[in-house]
């Protein structure tokens, strides 16, 4: 019998593949809704710039639904903005990249004293606020964007993929420079009290890259990033990541967060010692399902051996609070299977798929 854990102890144990008292619901993907934002008086774009509002909004799922972890910031353009990309703030909730300034990676340089630049001080102050208020009762999993995806922001995704085919050295140069910046930023987060780093890399999806491309253009930066920070890290990639699983297994990250396109049992068979996070549907289940639907789906991924139960991507803002509460309830009530039991169940599911 595992002793009762704090939220932070539970999340860290789950990420490291250790025994837990129950399944962690620590959210590394955004789980804020319109109802939550209204409750705490949060609005965009101010929530991107005001650390107290960012903290209140980040903690809302914990306060209102019992989720035992949180993430922020709420967009994936912060790093590119620091590095010189212009954002389109007409879309105040998730400002996209408006201009991609890098034409020649050889001429690209990372600015100094990044702790003073852009919205980085806001994020660091938010960590301070949450850590002081909640301590061990709320796991803090701030989001950083991975180097390959930032490279796409800086050069334009079309240019990045053209370089992969025509001038791969440009890709290596740009990604390597950005990797150093990401490591520096992640170290700042860890120094301020982040419990786990949640690193997102949507542009490295198997819907865009082959497994061999991932191994050449992405994997070295992930290895360098993890080694450079030394912090507990969850890597998230959207879409079909089956071609990447064998590479992620040797990347050095502690856990992998994946989309509904990859079954939990399949990922567990391929990831080796890397823990699994996810992979509950956000298209229909969270926004449109019943609380019973969410509860049962959560219990199912737990039976398949998920280490941290969570959404496959950001939870839609229209998601009813009752569905998020059902997710938490399932994490609290569903027995954690032994490794042997979840493996046996996975083999059973694999056999069923093979028969079809």
CA torsion 196-16-241-104 (nearest 10°) is: 40
pTM: 0.96
Domain spans of the chain, in order of start: 7-355
Within the chain, strands assigned E span 69-70, 86-87, 97-99, 139-140, 143-145, 197-200, 233-237, 255-258, 275-280, 308-311
- pLDDT: which is higher, 350 or 218: 218
pLDDT beyond 90 at 353: no
| 86: preceding bond cis by omega (within 30 degrees) | no
Q: What is the pLDDT of residues 126-151, one digit of tens each?
A: 999 999 999 999 999 999 999 999 99
- CB 246, CB 227: distance < 8 Å: no
* Mean pLDDT, the chain, integer: 96
pLDDT beyond 90 at 2: no
Q: What is the pLDDT of residues 275-313, one digit of tens each?
A: 999 999 999 999 999 999 999 999 999 999 999 999 999
Within 188-344, strands assigned E span 197-200, 233-237, 255-258, 275-280, 308-311
| Beta-sheet strand order (sheet of 233-237) | 143-145, 197-200, 233-237, 255-258, 275-280, 308-311
Q: What is the pLDDT of residues 186-235, one digit of tens each?
A: 999 999 999 999 999 999 999 999 999 999 999 999 999 999 999 999 99
pLDDT beyond 80 at 254: yes
Q: What is the rounded CA–CA span in Å between residue 338 and residue 36?
A: 35
Give mean pLDDT, residues 64-89.
97
Reading the block at residue 249, the tokens are 């297994």
Cα separation values, 141 from 113, 125, 224, 233, 245, Å? 23, 14, 20, 9, 22
pLDDT beyond 80 at 1: no
Q: What is the rounded CA–CA span in Å between residue 329 and residue 130?
A: 23
Largest CA distance in the chain: 58
Give the pLDDT score at 95: 95
24: β partners: 308
Which CATH number does 7-355 carry? 3.20.20.210
Give the pLDDT score at 33: 96
Helix (H, G, I), strand (E, B) or coil at 280: strand
Give the pLDDT score at 129: 98
- pLDDT: which is higher, 294 or 355: 294
pLDDT beyond 90 at 168: yes
Give the pLDDT score at 355: 81
Q: What is the pLDDT of residues 92-112, one digit of tens each?
A: 999 999 999 999 999 999 999
Reading the block at residue 281, the tokens are 């549907």
Q: What is the rounded CA–CA span in Å between residue 166 and residue 215?
A: 18
């Amino acid at each position: 019998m595992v002793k009762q854990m704090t939220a932070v102890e539970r999340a860290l144990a789950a990420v490291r593949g250790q025994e837990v008292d129950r399944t962690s619901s620590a959210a590394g993907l955004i789980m804020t809704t319109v109802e939550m934002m209204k409750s705490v008086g949060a609005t965009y774009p101010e929530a991107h710039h005001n650390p107290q509002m960012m903290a209140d909004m980040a903690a809302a799922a914990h306060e209102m639904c019992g989720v035992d972890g949180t993430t922020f910031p709420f967009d994936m353009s912060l790093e590119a903005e620091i590095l010189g990309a212009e954002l389109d703030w007409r879309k105040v909730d998730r400002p996209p990249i408006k201009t991609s300034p890098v034409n020649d990676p050889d001429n690209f340089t990372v600015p100094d004293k990044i702790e003073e630049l852009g919205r980085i001080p806001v994020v660091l102050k938010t960590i301070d606020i949450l850590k002081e208020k909640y301590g061990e009762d709320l796991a803090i999993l701030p989001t950083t964007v991975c180097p390959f995806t930032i490279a796409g922001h800086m050069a334009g995704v079309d240019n990045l993929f053209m370089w992969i085919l025509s001038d791969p050295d440009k890709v290596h140069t740009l990604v390597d420079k950005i990797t150093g910046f990401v490591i520096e930023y992640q170290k700042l987060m860890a120094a301020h009290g982040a419990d786990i780093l949640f690193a997102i890399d949507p542009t490295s999806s198997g819907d865009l890259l082959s497994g061999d491309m991932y191994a050449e253009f992405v994997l070295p930066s992930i290895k360098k990033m993890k080694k450079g920070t030394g912090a507990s890290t969850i890597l998230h990639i959207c879409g079909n990541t089956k071609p990447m699983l064998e590479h992620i297994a040797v990347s050095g990250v502690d856990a992998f967060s994946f989309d509904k396109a990859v079954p939990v049992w399949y990922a567990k068979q391929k990831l080796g010692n890397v823990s699994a996070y996810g992979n509950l549907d956000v298209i229909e289940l969270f926004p449109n399902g019943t609380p019973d639907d969410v509860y049962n789906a959560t219990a199912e991924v737990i039976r398949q051996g998920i280490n941290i139960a969570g959404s496959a991507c950001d939870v839609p803002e229209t998601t009813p609070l009752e569905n998020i509460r059902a997710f938490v309830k399932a994490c609290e009530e569903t027995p954690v299977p032994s490794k042997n039991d979840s493996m046996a169940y996975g083999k059973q599911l694999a056999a069923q798929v093979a028969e079809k």
